[in-house]
A and B are shown apart, each in its own frame.
Chain A
Amino acid sequence: MTVLVFLDHDDGVIRQASRSAIAAAAKLGDVDVLVTGADAAKAAAAIPGVKKVLQVTDTSGNSELAEPMAALLADLAGGYTHILAASSATSKNVLPRAAALLDVQPIPDIIAVNDADTFVRPIYAGSALATVKSADAKKVITVRASAFDPVPAEGGNAVIEEVALPAGPGGSTFISTELSQSERPELESARVVVSGGRGMQNEENFKLLDPLADRLGAAIGASRAAVDAGFVPNEYQVGQTGKIVAPELYIALGISGAIQHLAGMKDSRVIVAINKDPEAPIFQVADYGIVGDLFTVLPQLEAELDKAG
């Protein structure tokens, strides 16, 4: 069996989540990968275990669109038993469309591979884990990256082959992308995540998390409530409909711990909660909790970290 993994990259660097998807794919068979751009293709070729890199050469910007990418995946599917990608905004846009073209029911967000047809995936915001068996001849799968240890980035030497992007169905035009500028690690692969909730009260106060995040080299996340209230953009959202993270250390400040938020962070190794409400559900999953006003505790925490050096 050979499996095709569709990779995400940032400026030619393959995302860690995509390397986790390769780890999941390796349980199923030999791994070929598909990626856009020459730099990303070179990076992909260096990943151990990758047999062949299919490089999409795109000068039109159309690889940003689901229509031609889904058509390409469907065209390539003939040679593969499974098509995988790490769960991301891109893969969730493209893979279901490709699955429809192949008359396949996709299997999103898997957290375990039981055999070639059987997978485990969370449902109901992670309140339950379903083991599902696919009757489709081909499987189209997205992988929850936090459930699979990523393969290394270096050590391999795969061949690179170019593939052309098919003309998609007309009618879709890429206009622009605006990415938030940030020096911080990406949420999904950060070792430490500092997250704020409604308890941060406003956009100004939310910035109070910056020094703590700087101190710990952390990514900054937020609950849906904080995003809804407009404190931070949606890409900060951790939870059922946002990003799923599993860092070594997750610090939740002013987050009550709605099921939808817990769904996005409860697999973190160590969870710290700071909340003034002793009954907040976040304390039920936290390893360490402090009941108190976060605006008092936060500066104390920074001072203690500085003191400890």
Chain B
Amino acid sequence: MKVLVPVKRVLDYNIKARVKADGSGVETAGFKMSINPFDEIAVEEAVRLKEKGVVTEIVAVSIGEAKAQDTLRTAMAMGADRSILVETDTVTEPLSVAKVLKALVEKEKPDLVILGKQAIDDDMNATGQMLAGLLGRPQATFASKVEVADGAVTVTREIDGGLQTVKLALPAIITADLRLNEPRYASLPNIMKARKKPLEKITPADLGVDMTPRLSVISVAEPPERKAGVKLDSAAELVSRLRNEAKVI
């Protein structure tokens, strides 16, 4: 069976985002960019399914500027077999990305699409659900456990207050949560090998998708700064301050 794994190139997890001086967005030029951490978990899950013999082919997809091929190389170094870059300089939104993915799903016919639950730049948490909606296919979001058997996938999901288990007939859409797995580091030989794996480049227009964003950004601002308070010497002083000064206990 075939799995499609969409991956997004984002500002590295360890870098604190800074707002551009003109308030038009967040500064990314010159900073380290990486594969979105949740997408990395999605790739890892696909690779594990392949190692178990459940999956035969993994196709990584990225939608974005030309440099997103670095992200696809990362996915291939982890174990994806080939990749597709849908190149665009337009701002990507979950709706337009889901439309591109729908077109690719119709072309590639994967049994499973595994996505990260959320990109850590726009924090939308929407693309997987939207793709499932556009395709009219079953979805299991926030997966912490995935088991494929007999043409179906059983997924344990992280919900508020606990866990939920659902069973989806294939083809289906899954989004990966934090605890699904711990992604591997790509080894140097695998990084070298990934350079030779096929990477196809197309455009949204090739797929007939209009990328025009529905949301326009009016401004981006720093959140109100919180001031550092005081360091205290003892628990006694803390309790006294909480009671008499902050009046919270």
Contact = CB atoms under 8 A, between A and B. Distances in A.
Given A123-B121, A133-B215, A283-B231, A88 B160 contact: yes
Contacts of A178: 162-165
A134 B214 contact: yes
Interface residues of A, number: 94
Contacts of B158: 89, 234-235
A287 B95 contact: no
B249 A305 contact: yes
A248 interface: yes
B206 interface: no
Contacts of A108: 123-126
Given A175-B166, A228-B178, A96 B220 contact: no
Question: Chain A interface secondary structure, helix, strand, loop or mixed?
Answer: mixed
A46 interface: no
A57 interface: no
A287 B242 CA distance: 10
A133 B129 contact: no
Interface stretch (B45-53, B79-87, B132-140, B184-192): B132-140
Contacts of B133: 70, 96-101
A92 B160 CA distance: 11
Contacts, number: 273
B123 A131 contact: no
B109 interface: no
A236 to B, nearest CB: 10
Contact of B165 (A100, A175, A240): A175
Given A180-B162, A249-B248, A234 B178 contact: yes
Q: What are the nearest 10 A-B pairs in CB distance?
A: A100-B133, A124-B17, A172-B138, A96-B126, A287-B229, A300-B235, A171-B169, A96-B129, A105-B214, A100-B130
Given A105-B93, A106-B124, A291-B231, 11 more contacts: A10-B161, A90-B159, A100-B130, A123-B26, A130-B217, A134-B215, A192-B248, A269-B248, A270-B248, A300-B234, A301-B235
8 contacts: A92-B126, A104-B95, A123-B17, A132-B218, A169-B136, A177-B165, A227-B178, A288-B246
